[in-house]
Amino acid sequence: MNMSRLLFVSLLVIAAPAWAHSNLDHSEPKDRSVLKQAPYEVRMWFTEPIKTKLSTIEVHNAEGKQVDQRNLAADEKNPNLVRLSLIPEIVPGTYKVTWSAVAQDLHVSKGSFSFEVQP
């Protein structure tokens, strides 16, 4: 086996887990966090890139009003990171993020978390 073939096989082994399904690693705001300032976006880091066109992330306030801007997109530099803008009028209260993420292998993972904005 020559070096380039060895390298190729090694890359295949390293790349294989990239097609496993994707789980939420962490988020900003964090689950159950209490914020002194209203966030302008929700960021979620997944274990693998997700298909943003097939995935859904929504943010609702306590009254059930959707307060995100429906502009879910992957970060330009980090494909595992997705961003969702919030409306500018985030007032004190509790907010719930509900998500359904479709991985490259089309497996779906779901969850929700919440955060609070203090007066």
One-letter identity of residue 69: Q
Position closest to Cu ion via CB: 21
Q: Which stretch binds Cu ion (CB under 5 A): 4-12, 51-59, 85-93, 101-109?
A: 101-109
Q: What's the CA gap between 104 and 51, in Å, rounded?
A: 6
Does 51 participate in binding Cu ion (rule CB under 5 A)? no
CB of 2 to Cu ion, least distance (A): 33
Instruction: Considering only residues 16 through 45, tell me which ones interact with Cu ion, judged by CB under 5 A.
Output: 21
